[in-house]
Structure 1
Amino acid sequence: MQFEVWAPQAGRVTLVCDGARHALEPDPQRPGWWTGEAAAQDGSRYGFALDDGPVLPDPRSRRQPDGPDGPSAVVDHSRYTWRSSGWAGRPLPGAVVYELHVGTFTREGTFDAAAERLEHVADLGVTHVELMPVCPFPGRHGWGYEGVSLWAVHEPYGGPLGLKRFVDRAHELGLGVVLDVVHNHLGPSGNHLPRFGPYFTDTHHTPWGPAVNLDARGSDEVRDFLVGSALAWLRDYRIDGLRLDAVHALVDTRARHFLEELSAAVDALAERLGRPLFLIAESDRNDPRLITPRAEGGLGVHAQWNDDFHHALHTALTGESQGYYADFARAPLAALAKTLTGGFFHDGTYSSFRGRRHGRPLDRTRVPAHRLLGYAQTHDQIGNRARGERLSLLLKDSPGLLACAAVLTLTAPFTPMLFMGEEWAAGTPWQFFTDHTDPELAEAVRQGRRREFAAHGWPAEEVPDPQDAATRERSCLDFSEREREPHARMLRWYRRLIALRHEQPDLTDPDLADTRVAYDEQARWLAFRRGDVRVAVNLGAGPAAVPLGSRPARVLAAWDPVQPPGADGLLRLPGQSCAVLLQP
Structure 2
Amino acid sequence: MNADLWGFHLLENGHGKARIWAPAAEHMSLEIGARTIPMDRDETGWFEAHLDQPVAGEAYRFVTQEGRKVADPASRWQAGTVDGPSLVTDPKAYSWIHRDWPGRPWHEAVTYELHIGTFTAEGTFLAAARKLKELAELGFTAIELMPVAAFHGERGWGYDGVLAYAPHPAYGKPDDLKHLVDCAHGAGMMVILDVVYNHFGIYGNMLEQYAPQFFLKDSTPWGPAPDFSRKETRSYFIENALYWLSDFRFDGLRFDAADRLVAQDQPWLVDEIADRARNLLPYRTLHLVAEDARHVTSPLEWKGGRAPSCRAVWNDDFHHAVHVLATGETVGHYADFAAEPSVGVRTALAEGFIYQGQARPSKEGKRHGEPSGHLPPTCFVNFLQNHDQIGNRLKGDRLSALVEEDILKALTATLYLSPQIPLAFMGDEFGTRQSFYFFSDYPSEVHEAALKARMEEARNFGGSLYEKEFRAPDPNKRTTFLASKLQRPLAEDARSTSWREFVRELLAKRRSWIWPMLERLPSTEALVLPAPDKVIAVDWRLGNHKLELRCNLGREVATSPTTSGEVFYSLLAEPGTKALPPGGAIFASSGQADLQG
Q: What is aligned with 1:490?
A: 499
The alpha-carbon distance between structure 1 residues 223 and 261, as it changes in their structure 2 partners (threshold 3 A), is same
Q: What is aligned with 2:222?
A: 208
Match of 1:443 among 443, 448, 453: 448
Which letter maps to 2:358? T
Residues 1:229 and 2:240 are matched in the alignment: yes
CA contact (8 A) 2:262 2:268 kept: no
Residues 1:407 and 2:413 are matched in the alignment: yes
Residues 1:190 and 2:212 are matched in the alignment: no
Q: What is aligned with 1:581?
A: 588
Q: What is aligned with 1:360?
A: 369
The alpha-carbon distance between structure 1 residues 258 and 95, as it changes in their structure 2 partners (threshold 3 A), is same
Q: What is aligned with 1:416?
A: 422
Q: What is aligned with 1:434?
A: 440
* Alignment map for 1:261-410 (pairs within 5 Å): 261-271=272-282, 274-295=283-304, 300-365=309-374, 367-395=375-403, 398-410=404-416
CA contact (8 A) 1:280 1:302 kept: yes
Q: Where does structure 1 differ by over 6 angstroms across 4 or more consecutive aligned residues?
A: 296-299
Structure 1, gaps ≥5 residues long: none
TM-score (norm 1): 0.91
CA contact (8 A) 1:291 1:301 kept: yes
Match of 2:107 among 81, 86, 93: 93
Which letter maps to 2:36? R
3-state SS of 1:311 partner: helix
3-state SS of 2:98 partner: coil
3-state SS of 1:150 partner: strand
Tell me the CA shift for residue 249 of structure 1.
Answer: 2.5
CA contact (8 A) 1:100 1:131 kept: yes
Number of matched residues? 566
The alpha-carbon distance between structure 1 residues 557 and 176, as it changes in their structure 2 partners (threshold 3 A), is same
Q: What is aligned with 1:5?
A: 20
Structure 1 Cα separation of the partners of residues 66 and 53 of structure 2? 21
Which letter maps to 1:7? A
Tell me the CA shift for residue 52 of structure 1.
Answer: 4.2
CA contact (8 A) 2:216 2:226 kept: no
Match of 2:571 among 556, 559, 573: 559
Q: What is aligned with 2:126?
A: 112
3-state SS of 1:177 partner: strand
CA contact (8 A) 1:435 1:442 kept: no
Q: What is aligned with 2:165?
A: 151
Structure 1 Cα separation of the partners of residues 455 and 380 of structure 2? 34
CA contact (8 A) 2:19 2:46 kept: no
Tell me the CA shift for residue 415 of structure 1.
Answer: 1.1
Tell me the CA shift for residue 141 of structure 1.
Answer: 1.6
Which letter maps to 2:164? L
CA contact (8 A) 1:25 1:36 kept: no
Residues 1:244 and 2:255 are matched in the alignment: yes
Bigger CA drift: 539-548 or 49-58?
Answer: 539-548
The alpha-carbon distance between structure 1 residues 471 and 509, as it changes in their structure 2 partners (threshold 3 A), is farther
3-state SS of 1:520 partner: coil
Structure 2, gaps ≥5 residues long: 1-15, 592-597
Q: What is aligned with 2:578?
A: 571
Bigger CA drift: 374-383 or 573-582?
Answer: 573-582
Tell me the CA shift for residue 399 of structure 1.
Answer: 0.8
Structure 2 Cα separation of the partners of residues 31 and 68 of structure 1? 23
CA contact (8 A) 2:300 2:312 kept: yes
The alpha-carbon distance between structure 1 residues 119 and 211, as it changes in their structure 2 partners (threshold 3 A), is same
Which letter maps to 1:559? L
CA contact (8 A) 1:280 1:304 kept: yes
Match of 1:23 among 24, 38, 41: 38
Tell me the CA shift for residue 214 of structure 1.
Answer: 0.7
Tell me the CA shift for residue 117 of structure 1.
Answer: 0.9
Which letter maps to 1:529? D
Deviations 1:49-94 (A, max 9, x none): 1214211111111011211000110110111111111211223233
Which letter maps to 2:385? Q
CA contact (8 A) 1:413 1:512 kept: no
Deviations 1:110-168 (A, max 9, x none): 11111111112101211110000001112222101111111110111112021011111
CA contact (8 A) 1:177 1:241 kept: yes
Which letter maps to 2:571? W
CA contact (8 A) 2:144 2:192 kept: yes
CA contact (8 A) 1:60 1:149 kept: yes
The alpha-carbon distance between structure 1 residues 306 and 418, as it changes in their structure 2 partners (threshold 3 A), is same
3-state SS of 2:106 partner: coil
Structure 2 Cα separation of the partners of residues 280 and 153 of structure 1? 21
Structure 2 Cα separation of the partners of residues 559 and 244 of structure 1? 36
The alpha-carbon distance between structure 1 residues 440 and 457, as it changes in their structure 2 partners (threshold 3 A), is farther
Q: Percent identity?
A: 34
3-state SS of 1:465 partner: coil
Which letter maps to 2:407? L
Structure 1 Cα separation of the partners of residues 519 and 337 of structure 2? 26
CA contact (8 A) 2:571 2:583 kept: no
Which letter maps to 1:221? E
Structure 2 Cα separation of the partners of residues 579 and 238 of structure 1? 39
Match of 2:512 among 498, 503, 523: 503
The alpha-carbon distance between structure 1 residues 489 and 580, as it changes in their structure 2 partners (threshold 3 A), is farther
CA contact (8 A) 1:4 1:36 kept: no
Deviations 1:277-306 (A, max 9, x none): 121111111111232345468972332111
Bigger CA drift: 420-429 or 126-135?
Answer: 420-429
Structure 2 Cα separation of the partners of residues 358 and 152 of structure 1? 41
Bigger CA drift: 125-134 or 462-471?
Answer: 462-471
Structure 2 Cα separation of the partners of residues 13 and 526 of structure 1? 63
The alpha-carbon distance between structure 1 residues 299 and 188, as it changes in their structure 2 partners (threshold 3 A), is farther
Deviations 1:445-487 (A, max 9, x none): 1233245557836558521100122212221112233332322
Residues 1:141 and 2:155 are matched in the alignment: yes
CA contact (8 A) 2:532 2:558 kept: no
3-state SS of 2:279 partner: helix
The alpha-carbon distance between structure 1 residues 360 and 172, as it changes in their structure 2 partners (threshold 3 A), is same
Tell me the CA shift for residue 492 of structure 1.
Answer: 1.7
Tell me the CA shift for residue 358 of structure 1.
Answer: 3.8
Structure 2 Cα separation of the partners of residues 342 and 450 of structure 1? 34
Which letter maps to 1:573? L
Structure 2 Cα separation of the partners of residues 331 and 512 of structure 1? 29
3-state SS of 1:547 partner: coil
The alpha-carbon distance between structure 1 residues 442 and 495, as it changes in their structure 2 partners (threshold 3 A), is same
Match of 2:186 among 162, 172, 181: 172
Tell me the CA shift for residue 332 of structure 1.
Answer: 1.2
Tell me the CA shift for residue 539 of structure 1.
Answer: 1.4
